[in-house]
Amino acid sequence: GDRRSGRIMPECSASSSTSHAGASTFAAAAAAAALFVGLVAAPPPTISDVIHSVDHGIAALGLWPSAEMAAAGNLVDWCVTSECFDAAFRVAASEIKLGGMTAPDVVIGDFSVLRFLLSVVVAGVVTNVAMRIADTIARLLFTHFDAAKCSLPSVLPWPDPPGNSAPFDVPVPEASAEQLGKFLAFRGVALPATEAARREAAAREAVSYMAELFDRKHNEWCYRHYALKEKGLCFPYRAPFMNAWDFYGETSAHLRPVGNGQVIFALHHTVEGLLLPLLYFSSGDASFFYLALYADMGVEAYDILALLWRRATGADHTLTRHHPSVDAVLVPHHLFAICYELIGLMAGPLLSKTFMLHVVASAHLSGVFILAAIVLHQTPAQAWPRFLYRFQAAVLAAIYACRVVWWAPIAAASLRLAYTGFLPPLLTPHGVASEPRLLSPCFAAMLLLIAFYTYFNADQIVYNRKLLRKAGERLRLATKKERPSYSC
C-alpha cells in the first residue's frame, strides 16, 4: 500500500499543478483578449481629446489656472479684463522722464522701445566694467609665479597631439645649462648673464609656451567642431598647471577673457534666472519682473552687436569672448531669448508674469551649469578627472531637468497661448471667449522660436553627453594609472 501510495501521489500532484497552470494561462489569455477587444472597440482619441488633456496637464503644473480655479474666479495673475485685452500688442506714443528731462518713447503692450535701448547701453557699460574688475581680481588672487615649480620641454618643439596635453618633463631646478640655453634660443630670448636669471627666464617662457600650445589646440578644435562640423574630434584638455594657483598667470591672454566672460555670464544667468524671479514671487513687485526681462534682453542684444562689431573691425568687446566660429551657436541663442521675451512684454498684462518667469528660469538655471563647466576647465579642476566627471554629470542632469522635463510643458503652453490669442484655453468655458489664431504672426513666430530652441536643447544634450563620455574615459585612464602594479 505504501509503495502504491508512493507511486500514485506524485502523479496526482503533477496532474493538479498542470490543471492549475492551464487555468492560469486561460485566465491571462482571456484578460488580454478582453483588453484588446476593449481597446479596438473604444473610439480612438481625437485631436481635441489630446489637446484637452494637454491643457489640463499644463494647468496641473501651475502654468495657468485650472478649470476649477477659473470657475471660482481665481485666475492667479492672468488678466482677462477688457483693459488687458485692449493693452495687448497696442502701439502707443509715450514718454519717459530721465532726471529733469523728458524723452519720447514708443510702447507696444508693456514693451518700451526706449527702455530696451537704454538696457542695451547699460549692459554694454556694465559688461566691459565687469570684465576689467574680473581680470583685476583674478590677477590678484591667481598669479603666484614660482620658477621652482615650472618645467621645461625635453623635446623641441613639444609634441601636442589632439586630446590630453602632456606636461613638460624637465623641472627647471634640475635643467642643465645646455637645456636652459637651448630652450631660450628656441623661444628667441637672449641668454641672461646669471644662472638664476636664466632659470627665471626659462621658467616664464615655459609657462608662455604651454599657454600658446593649448591656445592653438583650443582654437583649432573650435574651428573644426563649430565651423567645419567635423565629428569624432578629441576634446582638448590642457596639461596640469605647473603651479596650480598660478592658473590665471599660466592662461593665455586670449583665453583669460573667455573665462572672465563665462563667470560674468553665469552671474547674469543667476541674477535674471533665479534671484529676480524669487524677489518677484516673494514680494509681488512687478518691477523685479520688468528688470529681469529688460536686463536679459539688454545683455543678449549687446553681445550680438559686439559680435557684429568684432566681425567688422576685429576688436573683441563681446561678453562671451568665444572663438568666432561659435557665433553660429550664440547668435540664434541670443535671438531666441530676445524675441521670446519681446513677445511676452508686447502681450502686456494679458500674459501671466509667473508664466514668463518660468520660461526665463528654465533656460537660465541650466545655463549656469553649462557656463560653470567651461570655467572649471580653465582652473586647477581641469586636472581632477573624477571631479570633472561628476560635475559634467550634474551639468547633463540640469539640462535634462530644465530643457526637457521643464521645457516640454512650457513649449506646449506657449504654442497654445499663441494659438488662442495669449489666453489660457481653460478660461473659455467660463465666460471668456478667445478666437484661435493659427495663421497669426504671433503663432508663426512662436512656432519658429519653439522649434529652434527645442533643436538647440537637443544639440546641447548630444554635445554634453559626448563631454560626459570623454570625461569618463579620462577618469578611467587616471584610475588605471593610480592602481599599483603587483608582480610575483
pLDDT digits (tens, 9 = 90+) for 403-413: 999 999 999 99
pLDDT of residue 18: 47
Q: What is the mean pLDDT of the chain?
A: 86
Residue 96, SS3 per DSSP: strand
Q: How far is 183 from 7, CA to CA, in rounded Å?
A: 95
Provide the grid cell at 394: 550634474
Is-contact 437 443, C-beta < 8 A? yes
The sign of the torsion formed by the CA atoms of 308, 309, 313, 314 equals negative
Provide the grid cell at 277: 524671479
In the sheet where 111-112 sits, what is the strand order? 91-98, 101-108, 111-112
pLDDT digits 0-9 by tens, 46-102: 767 777 788 888 888 888 888 788 788 788 888 877 888 888 889 999 988 877 788
Task: Return the C-alpha torsion angle 269, 274, 280, 282, nearest 10.
Answer: -160
Provide the grid cell at 457: 536643447
Strand partners, 111: 108
Residue 423, SS3 per DSSP: coil
Q: How far is 158 from 255, CA to CA, in rounded Å?
A: 20
More confident residue, 14 or 479: 479
Looking at residue 209, its amino acid is Y
| Whether the bond into 157 is cis, omega within 30 of 0 | yes
pLDDT band at 434 (very low <50, low <70, confident <90, very high): low
Provide the grid cell at 459: 544639440
Q: How far is 257 from 135, CA to CA, in rounded Å?
A: 8
Whether 484 has a pLDDT exceeding 90, the answer reads no
Whether 2 has a pLDDT exceeding 50, the answer reads no
DSSP of 11-74: HHHHHHHHHHHHHHHHHHHHHHHHHHHHHHHSPPPPHHHHHHHHHHHHHHTTSS--HHHHHTT-
pLDDT digits 0-9 by tens, 241-261: 999 889 999 999 999 999 999
Looking at residue 72, its amino acid is A
What value does the mean pLDDT take over residues 459-470?
A: 89
pLDDT digits 0-9 by tens, 105-125: 999 999 999 999 999 999 999
More confident residue, 467 or 131: 131
Is-contact 327 62, C-beta < 8 A? no
What value does the mean pLDDT take over residues 142-164?
A: 94
pLDDT of residue 83: 83
pLDDT band at 377 (very low <50, low <70, confident <90, very high): confident
Whether 5 has a pLDDT exceeding 50, the answer reads no
Residue 141 DSSP label: H
